[in-house]
Amino acid sequence: MKTPLFLLSLSALSLTALAAEAPLLAIPGAVIYESKLNTAPAAPWKAAKGKWELVEGAVRGSEMAEDKHGAVTRLPNKLQDFVIEYEFKFEGARSTSLSINATKDHMARIMMTPSSVTIQKDDNDHEGPDKAAIFARFPAVLSVGTWHKVRLEMVGDSMVGKVDDLVAWGSNDLFKTAKTAPGFTVGGQSVDFRNFTIREASLNPQWETVKVALPKPGDKVSIAAKASGKAKVKSKKNAN
């Protein structure tokens, strides 16, 4: 007996959904913080720079010329092992990132431009000897007005960054230390954000098997960055 086409389609969709939900580095646990970001920006979020407002049911961040700095808003949370998920869409900005700080200075981020996705450990001292380490930089097409999904997992000494279907991981001893002040940055005007969640996390027992199927740290960095030996990293001015 032939299986109806619509049942085959439903089966294919179910398999795709299961594949998308397969654990990577982390097994998500209890919710630490959750917001649809569909109300005017307010505590516990704290805007350090830029303009943050409610526009068409989402929080919009925009850089302000007088700040001479990218727009920044953060939560006060102190974290250890966690998963963050949210959605964003470009509305004219040149860049945006999900940024995590260490106790002092920066720790890690996922950086998006309309044409690229970068997953990296940040420079933690800016004056040496620590340096940023780019685990992956993917070419991408992140069109204006289109929502995209971001996921950051940090457990132990490792992190996984995911934007839509682009995934990469990396590790560093800095990641074992306390994480603080998760937040958004925006370079230019503007970026919209919605559906933000932080969850506790534990290590996926299958992680060693899972990571074999992912790009090795550094394998997906742009040819230009490898050739020069200098990965293009956002300056301190715009990366806070």
Q: What domains appear along the chain, each with residue ranges and CATH number?
A: 24-228 (2.60.120.560)
Exposed / middle / buried, residue 51 (Cβ in 10 Å: 0-12, 13-18, 19+): middle
Q: How far is CA 83 from the centre of its chain?
A: 10
pTM of the full predicted structure? 0.85
The per-residue pLDDT string of the chain (240 residues; one tens digit each, 9 = 90 and over) reads 444 443 444 344 433 333 346 899 999 999 999 999 999 999 999 999 999 999 999 999 999 999 999 999 999 999 999 999 999 999 999 999 999 999 989 999 999 999 999 999 999 887 778 889 999 999 999 999 999 999 999 999 999 999 999 999 999 999 999 999 999 999 999 999 999 999 999 999 999 999 999 999 999 997 544 443 443 444 444 456
